Structure 1
Amino acid sequence: MSTAPPEVAPTTGSSEAPSRGVSPGIALAVLAGAQLMIVLDATIVNIALPDIRRALGFSEASLTWVMNAYTLTFGGLLLLGGRLGDLLGRRRMFISGLLVFTIASLLGGFAQNEATLLAARALQGVGGAFTAPAVLSLITTTFKEGAERNKALGVYAAVSGMGAAVGLLAGGFLTEYANWRWVMFVNVPIGVGLALTIPKVFPADKVVDSGRGLGRFDIPGAITSTVGVSALVYGFIRAAEESWTDSVTLTAFAMAVVFIGAFVTIELRTRQPLLPLRMFANSTRTGGYLVMMLSGAGMMATFFFLTLFMQNPDLMDLSPVLAGTAYLPLTAGIITSAQMTSRLITTRGPRPFLIAGPLVAGAGLLWLSFLETDSNYWSGILPGVVLMGLGMGAVFVSIMSTATAGIAAEDSGIGSAVLNVTQQIGGTIGLAVLATISTSAAKSAFDDEVAKVGEPTSAVIAHASASGWTTAILAASIMVFASSLIAFALVRIRKEDVRVDPSAVTH
């Protein structure tokens, strides 16, 4: 093997952590704050979409790109962002990504037309793609493997899991009591504060000069992976908007196959790959990535359909604030479960939680799939979201431990990026697939109801919509249940792999 590229110390492995001059709690608070800002931005705009449409004159079709512009650049650039962190320094990429994200948020808040807002959302995705891998890789290199890192991963997992629900709640309050522009502006003081704090919390990047600089940086791999993943994400977005047989959809998928195939070929041959394929030789890590993809697909899609159900005027007719508040029990479940799992995982290992977590979360989704047009929140939704939260909290912590255990320091950035990529692509693909299922089920229910009553009344339309959404949630539960089977079949991590290092227990 060739010598290591310019790298961030330490280079001895993931079990060691650099010396710290500040409280680990402060370091964790900074990392958690950045992760929360990135994660919640995927949903905080959701509830503001009607106001954005009225203010900037979006059409119904173009409005979806307020969400998709962020997803496309975020998913497409995550691998590149992760590798740049490994090569140029994680702290450097952390600050740079935050500043890009913050500037984009400011531009989006002042947007006066469609083009400006969509460009700002795409730029937010770029900033997020550079920031997200740096956050997780800094956890793996700042906190020692064992109890200390498990605690940090527990906080990270709780923040990652609850971010979507917090985004919906915050979006509801900001839209209803302030203005839709504040779903963008709210990131500015947070981003600036974090960027100013990071240099005081994390040591400067120590780059080891291997004599090659960035001359052997995998530029062909960066180009093919970015184009390939972006084409894949776009293909699924287009399929949900148009159809699976649409010519543009098929072209996007064809491009994805060609460029991802080229990327794999390049990675097998290059001496300094963007994505070391050896990371997938470990069945446990690969299993963790697949569980993240399927769980993320089921959870993010359910947020979308359940939010529509609760705000539909002919169903629950909840206001934006109440719809966001309805997810608080889910957030509480994730936090509680994540913290319990982070404490138990060192003595029992991640595998039991990686198997049981999806079963609990899947049961919650299954409960929600039985919602009817006359269902109420307390008996219809509350039990389901609580089970979802408890299950997903266990899933996120056990996945973090599984996917990051034993990764060498020189691969921690790209390892973090792959984990984020699987979650992001899983959510995008899941929503596209389930949206198609929902549309088909709703059409079938609509036709059946019209055949019975003879005319498309508001009650018929509400029933058809509810039928489509709950069918999609049922399919989401199957995805999440399937992730438990994958964990059972592939994950072989032992509790000794996340054992407690007595010297690591500092807080």
Structure 2
Amino acid sequence: MNLRRVRAGRTAPSLRPGAALAALAAAQFTVMLATSIVNVALPQIRAGAGLSDSGTTWVVNAYGLAFGALLLAGGRAADLLGRRRVLVAGLAFFAVASLAAGLAASADVLIAARALQGLGAAAVAPAALALAIDLFPSGAGRGRALGVWGAVSGAGGAGGVLLGGVLTQAWGWPWIFHAVALGTALVSAAVVAFVPRTAESRGGRADGRFDLLGTVTVTLALTGLVWGLTGARGTGWADVRVLGALLGALVLFAVFVVVESRRPNALVPPRLFSAGRVAAGNLLMALLGSVWIALFFFLPLYQQQVLGSTPLATGAGQLPLAVAGMAGSALAPRLSRRVGAAATATASLLAAAAGLLWMSRISADGSYTADVLGPSVLVGAGLSGAFVQLTALAVDGVPRQDAGLAGGLVNTARQVGGSVGLAALATLAGSVTARASSHQSPVEALVAGYRAAFTVSAAILAATAFLALLLVRRTGRALPRSTAAPADPAAASGRDRTVPCAPTA
């Protein structure tokens, strides 16, 4: 008999899964907060750190790129080394990097610290999600847990804008990073206190080795892709460096596919995509992410640079979006049980698309009430509802030993999609603004760029809704029952469900 399982069974009655979920959700909230907390302070950061237009974008993208590029490595490290251990270490690294960003005396140091924040977040996010999946087996319990996950993810995005506004106006932009460092320390204490050691959950591998070659290849590929898209905003698509970066990224992605198909310890093993609806969920999540992060980039800029809102007012203006996001996250699992996964995902995506289309009607002489409030509610509810449903799809039927990798993969899809989407939409908005500035006022030209970004975002989500309807139903018909089964007989019989323990290698 597995001694770890006996110990887990003895200690399980004294554990509090609700408190553990709260601590894990707080870790997810923290990494999402760090994604958006800088957005409302970008004008102040740009002036204080001496950033250019492209440098300002990199304050956001350095975090997103490192986060997205290393999430797969973080998820596999959690499976190999222990999810609780990796989570605690990642939180500690994240806190130190956040403090370094707040103390940065130059633009280069600030961007480097943001990249290190992303590295820490890449360890935190997949480990936290895998632990939450472990604590709540498939069924209504997992649906509620993922609803909480979606709510805190949406609240982290909107809450980051609110907190960023308050701190920037009260004490200056460095305090947005100091606050994240302090909050991360508190989350670390909560994880240590409430997430049991019996939930360490190490997954098995055939050889137990880390795929360093695959990690380096995919990281360089993602770096080249986002750097090329970001550079195109300043130098144009015909620039030799931009074209070289994009071509290099494509070559490296091809090399990654070949390498992964031949390695026994592949970073992304093919077996992962034979389970449930992993591929469909991740593709849809990437498209959703391409819009999600860009929204929290452009909307605060419109409120400050066009409507003239203060950082505090800009942050407060995100509250309706956050509340709508929490409501959408809570309703998504219930709707899915009633009308099905495909219908729920499609409806959520269409609601968000409608909100963004409405938002594309912003004007240079508009107001928060007329131009932002209504569409924000619709977008918040739709994005969060879709996030919950697509996360559930992306971990559906995944073997328990790959839960960390699955969590890393879905977070990678959202974060990398967001980095690529932000780079592409920022390039689009900048190009439209540059063309419009020849015959319009600077403010009107700026609004023209924002409107183009929101219009394209609405089109992306509408196309994603169509794909969701097609892919979820098609893969749902072929979903084998065996992939959704628990990883061991004890779990199948209902024993030790509170704190499941991975089989020993």
Same fold (TM over 0.5): yes
Whether the aligned pair in 2 keeps the contact of 1:72 and 1:234 (CA below 8 Å) is no
Q: CA deviation at 1:283?
A: 7.8
Partner secondary structure for residue 374 of structure 1: coil
2:428 equivalent to 1:447: no
Q: CA deviation at 1:301?
A: 1.7
Name the residue aligned to 2:95: 102
* Pairing 1:91-130 to 2, within 5 Å after superposition: 91-130=84-123
Partner letter of residue 433 of structure 2? A
2:335 equivalent to 1:344: yes
Partner secondary structure for residue 437 of structure 2: helix
The separation in 2 between residues aligned to 1:408 and 1:502, in whole angstroms, is 17
Name the residue aligned to 1:5: none
Can you list the C-alpha shifts for 1:274-306, whole angstroms capped at 9, x where unaligned? 101233346832222122111221232222222
Name the residue aligned to 1:224: 217
* Pairing 1:46-195 to 2, within 5 Å after superposition: 46-195=39-188
From 246, 250, 254, the counterpart of 2:243: 250
**Relative to 1, partners in 2 of residues 1:503 and 1:335: Cα closer, same or farther, differing over 3 Å?**
farther
Partner letter of residue 27 of structure 2? A
* Pairing 1:295-306 to 2, within 5 Å after superposition: 295-306=288-299
* Pairing 1:390-405 to 2, within 5 Å after superposition: 390-405=381-396
Aligned length: 477
2:408 equivalent to 1:427: no
Name the residue aligned to 2:19: 26
Whether the aligned pair in 1 keeps the contact of 2:83 and 2:201 (CA below 8 Å) is no
TM-score, normalization by structure 2: 0.88
The separation in 2 between residues aligned to 1:369 and 1:210, in whole angstroms, is 49
Moved more, 342-351 or 128-137: 342-351
Gap runs ≥5 in structure 2: 486-491, 499-505
Name the residue aligned to 1:484: 465
Whether the aligned pair in 1 keeps the contact of 2:91 and 2:184 (CA below 8 Å) is yes
Whether the aligned pair in 2 keeps the contact of 1:267 and 1:276 (CA below 8 Å) is yes
The separation in 1 between residues aligned to 2:206 and 2:419, in whole angstroms, is 41
2:32 equivalent to 1:39: yes
The separation in 1 between residues aligned to 2:429 and 2:230, in whole angstroms, is 15
Can you list the C-alpha shifts for 1:293-348, whole angstroms capped at 9, x where unaligned? 11221232222222222112xx3111111111111111111101111122333344
Partner letter of residue 75 of structure 1? G
Whether the aligned pair in 1 keeps the contact of 2:147 and 2:333 (CA below 8 Å) is yes
Moved more, 330-339 or 303-312: 303-312
Q: CA deviation at 1:137?
A: 1.1
TM-score, normalization by structure 1: 0.87
The separation in 2 between residues aligned to 1:394 and 1:61, in whole angstroms, is 32
Whether the aligned pair in 2 keeps the contact of 1:371 and 1:470 (CA below 8 Å) is yes
Gap runs ≥5 in structure 1: 1-8, 11-15, 450-459
**Relative to 1, partners in 2 of residues 1:447 and 1:112: Cα closer, same or farther, differing over 3 Å?**
closer
Q: CA deviation at 1:87?
A: 1.0
**Relative to 1, partners in 2 of residues 1:20 and 1:228: Cα closer, same or farther, differing over 3 Å?**
farther
Partner letter of residue 324 of structure 1? G
* Pairing 1:356-395 to 2, within 5 Å after superposition: 356-395=347-386
Q: CA deviation at 1:187?
A: 1.9
Partner secondary structure for residue 237 of structure 2: coil
Partner secondary structure for residue 42 of structure 1: helix
Partner letter of residue 89 of structure 2? S
Q: CA deviation at 1:94?
A: 0.4
Whether the aligned pair in 2 keeps the contact of 1:36 and 1:159 (CA below 8 Å) is yes
User: Between the two proteins, what is the percent identity of the paired residues?
Assistant: 37
The separation in 2 between residues aligned to 1:295 and 1:357, in whole angstroms, is 11
The separation in 2 between residues aligned to 1:167 and 1:437, in whole angstroms, is 25
Q: CA deviation at 1:174?
A: 0.2
2:310 equivalent to 1:329: no
The separation in 1 between residues aligned to 2:315 and 2:358, in whole angstroms, is 20
Moved more, 385-394 or 18-27: 18-27
2:444 equivalent to 1:463: yes
Whether the aligned pair in 2 keeps the contact of 1:288 and 1:403 (CA below 8 Å) is yes
Q: CA deviation at 1:234?
A: 2.1
2:399 equivalent to 1:408: yes
Partner letter of residue 391 of structure 2? M
2:272 equivalent to 1:279: yes
